[in-house]
Amino acid sequence: MPFKAGLELTELQNMTVPEDDNISNDSNDFTEVENGQINSKFISDRESRRSLTNSHLEKKKCDEYIPGTTSLGMSVFNLSNAIMGSGILGLAFALANTGILLFLLLLVSVTLLSIYSIYLLLVCSKETGCMVYEKLGEQVFGTPGKMIVFGSTSLQNVGAMLSYLFIVKNELPSAIKFLMGKEESFSAWYVDGRILVVTVTFGIILPLCLLKNLGYLGYTSGFSLSCMVFFLVVVIYKKFQIPCGGPELNTTSPILSNSSAHEHMCKPKYVIFNSKTVYALPTIAFAFVCHPSVLPIYSELKDRSQKKMQLVSNISFFAMFVMYFMTAIFGYLTFYDNVQSDLLHKYQSKDDILILTVRLAVIVAVILTVPVLFFTVRSSLFELARKTKFDLCRHVLVTFVLLVIINLLVIFIPSMKDIFGVVGVTSANMLIFILPSSLYLKITQQDGSKLTQRIWGLFPWLASANLSAQKRAKRSVCSIPRGFNGPESDLGCFRQKRQAEMLAL
């Protein structure tokens, strides 16, 4: 196009090009014509300039390359921390409403799709050079892409904060009653979960959120993961101590006095469909979302490469898959149909020090994790508004308003399954399934051969079969008997060639 060519020449004029003795300044080089064609010297010179300009433009990346310093093992630890969250508390409830086999099928499917979406995300990052999700969306889709990525990541982080504060709302009253020696039915105003969550928010979380800087995946991530591992160990241990369905059912329910009804209640189910089954997939998807953290962890990886980061994601997701499944299966086999959306809330023994320790550890872990997620949401909001310069009044005002909105949501949302359902259906699906595939298709659609090569790369056995088919096609093309000439032979050769091409495809 004339405009494009003029743009290239204008950019070349602004570039400093060293003088070359082989390039002639004689105007005859631009006007000499031989046999109706432009001089080959001019063509080669023009093509070399165009190639230089295009290569210069194509190598313009989103971010500058900065070497990482984090080892592979520590990157696995960081990504596992990013995956692990409050979603682990709702997986037993999801299993109770899907059955063991259906839950295992959904868990395996979401795990594999999450790993594949990370592969697509890494490919897009390699092609564009972007190490931030919002910048990647803006690089590929412009401002709408940046807005969509911002909305998805912010909703995911807000949903995680809501689930953490919901744990505080449910578990902190029970812990205080235990420390005071009161019964579970004790209902003073200072053990009201709504009052406690507001007190914790503005007494502990607000001062931490007002800090100017918070380290990415801060110092609380290791403690949070340790608490969840401790929680899993306790869940497995309690399976062999708590009677079927929980102690309260065995002492208060007259139905369980019948041995046949008791056996039916304590018999595991493998496939279940009911009105609560729809919460299963969003809950599982919510538990596996870590995509906003993948690119920052990738940027900090030492001697980073796509293959190395894919290994990090594979190890992390396999470890979390095992941990999630064991928590869900042992939690379900402890309470069966009586399990709740918050598994930790089911352990209500007032004399059990171990349960109190787990409850307090999880409460402290989620309280200290909220500021890290809040810092990410606030930073993205300022980046979207292009207000990156620090202003104390704006900093305090935005922090206070966001915490008020989050607390109102926590107070009026009835249960954690609603948080898992809404966030899992919206932002989790966007971050796991829709956004990575959309970015990948947008990047690769401009070069069909590159897309084909990537598809063959995913299936090596299919690529080798395609290569064998091409070799067979080359041997069989135009196998016309000798001595047979004329138009019919050309037509037969053309038909054989088309058949061979279709076979190769």
Look up residue 117 and give its two tokens.
Answer: 């979406």
Mean pLDDT of 290-296: 86
Look up residue 337 and give its two tokens.
Answer: 């149909």
375 or 55, greater pLDDT:
375
Look up residue 343 and give its two tokens.
Answer: 């598994």
Which residue ranges make up each domain of the chain?
2-15+26-58, 72-448, 463-504
Look up residue 311 and give its two tokens.
Answer: 């290994």
Q: Are 286 and 87 in contact (CB under 8 A)?
A: yes
Q: Are 210 and 395 in contact (CB under 8 A)?
A: yes
Look up residue 71 and give its two tokens.
Answer: 């080892």
CA distance 394 to 378: 11
Matching residue, tokens 């921390």: 81
Residue 495 has pLDDT above 90, yes or no: no
CA distance 202 to 197: 9
Measured N-to-C along each axis, helices 306-335 and 220-239 cross at an angle, to the nearest 10 degrees, of 40
Phi/psi for 348 (5° steps) reads -120, 20
Model confidence at 1, in pLDDT bands (50, 70, 90)?
A: very low
Model confidence at 475, in pLDDT bands (50, 70, 90)?
A: low
68 or 176, greater pLDDT:
176
434-437 own/partner pairs: CB under 8 Å, 24+ apart:
435/137, 435/148, 435/149, 435/152, 435/291, 436/117, 436/118, 436/120, 436/121, 436/124, 436/291, 437/117, 437/120
Residue 21 has pLDDT above 50, yes or no: no
27 or 234, greater pLDDT:
234
Pairing state between β 33-34 and 37-38: antiparallel
Q: Answer yes or no: CATH 1.20.1730.10 is held by domain 72-448.
A: yes
**So what's the pLDDT on residue 8?**
42
Q: What is the pLDDT of residues 265-292, one digit of tens each?
A: 788 889 999 888 888 989 999 999 888 8
Q: What is the pLDDT of residues 396-435, one digit of tens each?
A: 999 999 999 999 999 998 888 788 888 888 888 888 889 9
Q: Are 407 and 195 in contact (CB under 8 A)?
A: no
CA distance 379 to 364: 24
DSSP-derived 3-state class of residue 258: coil
Model confidence at 44, in pLDDT bands (50, 70, 90)?
A: very low
- DSSP for 158-202 reads HHHHHHHHHHHHHHHHHHHHHHHT--TT---GGG-HHHHHHHHII
CA distance 106 to 320: 14
Look up residue 86 and give its two tokens.
Answer: 């409050």
Q: Report CA-CA distances (Å) from 91 to 279, 335, 340, 381, 484.
A: 10, 13, 10, 31, 73
- Whether this prediction's pTM lies above 0.85 is answered by no
Cα–Cα nearest to 409, from 187, 139, 169? 169
Q: Are 114 and 316 in contact (CB under 8 A)?
A: no
